[in-house]
Structure 1
């Protein structure tokens, strides 16, 4: 995460705490911008790659960016788990496990967290650890964000804090 994005995230969180905050334990929210086609190919770039044929995994380290269509996932480290059949890796990606300043961007929506697990076959992303989601001028924070990329629906859990802009000027 860049210094600018950390400052912006901190400012958004401070704004959440100071002004008209709605607080809940869990919140369902529409994630239309995070709707996504998981059948598209995944492209990954990084500073380093380690492959373990025995476990059927690959680990990308350093400035990792994984792209699929319009969606971008960046992190310090991304482990790729391949699907297996009869104990053999198929070459199909099952999961991407991202750690270290994780950022997910799709369209005008962006989310940051400490960890993210993208299950490609179920088209679901689970982000955990100090999650901050921005949707235009709205911001939402919590400990766990689960997004169904097929439907564009999601759920934020764990001491949820949010600000919804009403559009009114007073």
Structure 2
């Protein structure tokens, strides 16, 4: 009897609500090589950043990130270490059996942190969670959703 009341309170919660969730089913290795595929690559010689556009797919270990456009910021002048990636447009992050969608994402490669913003939708099996912002820690396999959080929680059947 208490469970339906708790779910109703969760769905009616205000904008300041945040929810922590597990993400990815496994821990990701932020030191693993990063593979990028795209329709086009432009490199800015002035700042050394690389911009990938068109069907961008980034893979690192079990994690996949796709978007319309991704700007890669390097941590050093030799461009041998990636500091961060800023993905824009139709962003999808998949890790293990979990998938998240958003308008934008910033992936801090060195720390394994991903921040998704703009109409975030997280699908974990049949359960769905939405919010304004999601912060994912790929190293620990955790995530936190902030903003107007709404959730559909599926109960296990007998």
| Larger relative strand fraction | 1
Matched, 1:70 2:53: no
C-alpha separation between the residues in 2 aligned to 1:143 and 1:89?
A: 36
Distance 1:165 1:118, change over 3 A: same
Q: Which residue of 1 aligns with 2:4?
A: none
Q: Which residue of 2 aligns with 1:92?
A: 81
Shift of 1:22: 2.8
Q: Which residue of 2 aligns with 1:22?
A: 10
| TM-score normalised per structure 1 | 0.81
1:46 to 34, 38, 50: 38
Q: Which residue of 2 aligns with 1:9?
A: none
Superposed CA deviations along residues 92-147 of structure 1, whole A, max 9, x for unmatched, are: 00001100100011121000000000001111000000000000111100010001
Runs of 4+ in 1 over 4 A off after TM superposition: none
What is the root-mean-square deviation of aligned Cα atoms in Å? Answer: 1.8
Q: Secondary structure at 1:126's aligned position in 2?
A: strand
Gaps of 5+ in 2: 1-6
Gaps of 5+ in 1: 1-18
